[in-house]
Amino acid sequence: MARLITLTFMPIYQYNCGDCQKRVDVFFRSVSAAASKEAICPQCRGKSLTRVMSTFSRNRSLLQRLDNVDHVHEASRLLGNDPSAFYHWAKQQGKEWDESLGTNWEELAERTLAGEDPAERIDADYTFRYHVEEKKYQLEKEANPKAFADSEYEDPYKEYFDRPVQDTSSSSAD
C-alpha cells in the first residue's frame, strides 16, 4: 500500500490592520487554517485585517488554479446539450472565474434559468477553454516577458514574402 506523505507548509501572510493601521505578518499552522481561520493582528489583537497580496503572488496563484482546470471533465459535464446541466455548470464557473477571466457565465446561467437559451450555451466548453488558455498565456508572458520575446512567433511564410522581387522590366543599371 502506498504511503501517504503529508507535506507540512506553514504559511505566513501579510495583512493590513484596520485597527492599528500597521502592516503585519500573520503565521498559520497550515494553508487550510489560513483559509478558514480569522486572522488576528499580532500587534493589537484586532480582527479587521485585509490580506495583502503582491501582484506576483496573485498572478501565480491564479495561474495555478488555471493549470488545474480539467477541460475534459468540464466538457463532459456539458454533454447532452441539456439546459439544466449548462445552468449548473455556468453558475459554478461564473462564481469561480467571472471576476478573474472577465467572463459572464453567471449571467448566462441566470438567463438560462429564466427560460432563455443564450447562444453562448453552444460550445460553452470550448469558449471556457479559450478564456482559460488566453489568461494563462497572458500571465505567463507577464511573468517572463523575456522568454516570450526570445521565442517570437516565426511566420512560416516570412521568407516567401521577404524574397526580393526580381525586376524584369529593366536590366540593372551599371
Residue ranges binding Zn ion (CB under 5 A): 17, 19-20, 41, 43-44, 46
Separation between Cα atoms, residue 61 and residue 57, nearest integer Å: 6
Separation between Cα atoms, residue 174 and residue 165, nearest integer Å: 19
| Shortest spacing between CB 105 and Zn ion, in angstroms | 38
Separation between Cα atoms, residue 12 and residue 22, nearest integer Å: 16
- Helices first, then strands: H and E counts in the chain: 8, 3
Nearer to Zn ion, 47 or 95 (CB): 47
Nearer to Zn ion, 17 or 124 (CB): 17
| Shortest spacing between CB 19 and Zn ion, in angstroms | 5
* b/e per residue 123-132 (b: at least 16 CB within 10 A): ebbeebeebb
| Shortest spacing between CB 22 and Zn ion, in angstroms | 5
Nearer to Zn ion, 44 or 62 (CB): 44
| Shortest spacing between CB 11 and Zn ion, in angstroms | 19
Looking at the chain, how many residues does it have? 174
Separation between Cα atoms, residue 56 and residue 157, nearest integer Å: 37
Nearer to Zn ion, 38 or 70 (CB): 38
Neighbour tally for 149: CB within 10 Å: 9
| Shortest spacing between CB 94 and Zn ion, in angstroms | 35
Sheet with 12-17: strands ordered across: 23-27, 12-17, 49-52
Nearer to Zn ion, 39 or 101 (CB): 39
